[in-house]
Chain A
Amino acid sequence: MNPLHWVSTVRLRVRSLFHRSSVERELREELQYHLDQRTEELVATGMTEADARRTAAHQLPGLEQIKEECRDMRKVRPIEDLVRDVAFGARLLRKSPGFTVVVLIVLALGIGANTALFSLFNQVLLRSLPVANPDELVVLVSKVPRWGTFSSFSYPMFRELRDKNTVLTGLLAHSGADLNVGYGGQSTKAVGEVVSTEYFNVLGVRPWLGRFIDRTDEERAVANPVAVLTYSCWQQRFGGDRSIVDRDIVLNGHATRIIGIAPPGFYGTELNRSPDVFVPVTLKKVFEPVPRDRFDNPGQQWLRVMGRLKPGVSIQQAQAAIDLLHHQVREREVQALPPRPRDSDNMMLETHVELQPGAHGFGLLQRELAKALRLLLVISAIILVITCANLANMLLARNAARAQEITMRLALGASRLRLVRQWLTESALLSLLGGGLGVVVSVWCQGALLSFLPVEQRANLSSHPDVAVLAFAIAVSVITGLLFGLAPALQVSRASLHHKASSENAGGFRAGLVALQVALCLPLLVIAGLFLASLRNTRTLPTGFESKNVILATIDPSLNGYDQPRVRHLFQQTLQAARALPGVEAAGFGHTVVLSGSADQMVLTVEGFTQKASDEMTALVNTISPGYFEALRLPLVSGRYFNERDAAGSRPVGIINETIARQFFPGKNPIGMRFGTDTKSPPNIEVIGVVRDAKYTTITEKPERQYYIPMSQNPELRDMTLHIRASGDPRLLVELLRSKIRAIDPNVPLFNVKTLEQGIDESLSHDRLVAWLSIALGALATALCAIGLYGVIAFSVARRTREVGIRMALGAQRRDILALIVKRVTLLLTGGVLIGAIGALAGTRVIGSLLFGVTPTDPGVFAAATAILLLAAAVAAYLPARRALQVNPSVALRYE
Chain B
Amino acid sequence: MSKPSDLVQGTLDLLILKILALEPLHGWAISRRLKQVSNEVLQVSDGSLYPALHKLEQEGWIKAEWRPTENNRRAKFYALTARGRKHLARESASWERLSSAIVQVLELKAI
Listed in ascending order, the chain A residues whose CB lies under 8 Å from chain B are 5, 8-9, 12-13, 26, 29-31, 33-34, 36-38, 59-62, 65-66, 69-70, 72-75
Complex-state Cα separation, A73 to B47, whole angstroms: 14
Q: What is the 8 Å Cβ interface bit string for chain B, positions 29-61, against chain A (1 contact, 0 not)?
A: 001000000000000001100110011011110
Binds A, one of B4-12, B16-24, B72-80, B95-103: B72-80
Are A66 and B47 within 8 A (Cβ)? yes
Question: A73 with B74: in contact, given A60-B47, A62-B1 (CB under 8 Å)?
Answer: no
Which has the most chain A C-beta neighbours within 10 Å: B2, B31, B46? B46
Question: A26 with B76: in contact, given A73-B55, A73-B58 (CB under 8 Å)?
Answer: yes
Listed in ascending order, the chain B residues whose CB lies under 8 Å from chain A are 1-2, 26-28, 31, 46-47, 50-51, 54-55, 57-60, 66, 73-76, 83
Are B51 and A70 within 8 A (Cβ)? yes
Of the candidates B51, B58, B59, the one whose C-beta lies within 8 Å of that of A69 is B51
Sample 19 A-B pairs with CB under 8 A, ordered by A number: A8-B60, A13-B58, A26-B66, A26-B76, A30-B26, A30-B75, A31-B50, A33-B28, A34-B50, A36-B73, A59-B46, A60-B46, A62-B1, A66-B47, A66-B50, A70-B54, A73-B55, A74-B54, A74-B58
Of the candidates B31, B54, B66, B76, the one whose C-beta lies within 8 Å of that of A73 is B54
Are A33 and B75 within 8 A (Cβ)? yes
Complex-state Cα separation, A74 to B46, whole angstroms: 19
Are B2 and A62 within 8 A (Cβ)? yes
Closest to A76 in B: B58
Min C-beta distance of B59 to chain A, whole Å: 8
Are A33 and B60 within 8 A (Cβ)? no
Complex-state Cα separation, A34 to B73, whole angstroms: 12
Min C-beta distance of A492 to chain B, whole Å: 30
Query: Which 9 residue pairs spanning A and B have beta carbons closest together?
Result: A69-B51, A73-B54, A73-B55, A37-B28, A70-B54, A30-B76, A34-B28, A60-B46, A33-B75
CB neighbours of B55 from chain A (8 A): 73
Of the candidates B60, B66, B76, the one whose C-beta lies within 8 Å of that of A5 is B60
CB neighbours of B60 from chain A (8 A): 5, 8-9, 12
Are B1 and A9 within 8 A (Cβ)? no
Min C-beta distance of B55 to chain A, whole Å: 4
Complex-state Cα separation, A550 to B60, whole angstroms: 83
CB neighbours of B27 from chain A (8 A): 30, 33-34
Complex-state Cα separation, A252 to B98, whole angstroms: 94
Are B46 and A34 within 8 A (Cβ)? yes
Question: A61 with B47: in contact, given A30-B76, A73-B58 (CB under 8 Å)?
Answer: yes
Are B51 and A73 within 8 A (Cβ)? yes
Are A30 and B50 within 8 A (Cβ)? yes
Complex-state Cα separation, A73 to B31, whole angstroms: 19
Complex-state Cα separation, A37 to B51, whole angstroms: 19
CB neighbours of B28 from chain A (8 A): 33-34, 37-38
Closest to A26 in B: B76
Are B1 and A61 within 8 A (Cβ)? yes
Of the candidates A12, A29, A61, the one whose C-beta lies within 8 Å of that of B57 is A12
Of the candidates B26, B50, B75, the one whose C-beta lies within 8 Å of that of A70 is B50
Complex-state Cα separation, A70 to B57, whole angstroms: 11
Are A69 and B83 within 8 A (Cβ)? no
Are B2 and A65 within 8 A (Cβ)? yes
CB neighbours of A75 from chain B (8 A): 58
Are A72 and B51 within 8 A (Cβ)? yes
Complex-state Cα separation, A30 to B60, whole angstroms: 19
Given contacts A33-B74, A34-B31, A75-B58, 16 further A-B contacts (CB under 8 A): A5-B60, A5-B83, A8-B60, A9-B60, A29-B74, A33-B26, A34-B28, A36-B73, A60-B46, A62-B1, A65-B2, A69-B2, A69-B50, A70-B50, A70-B54, A74-B58
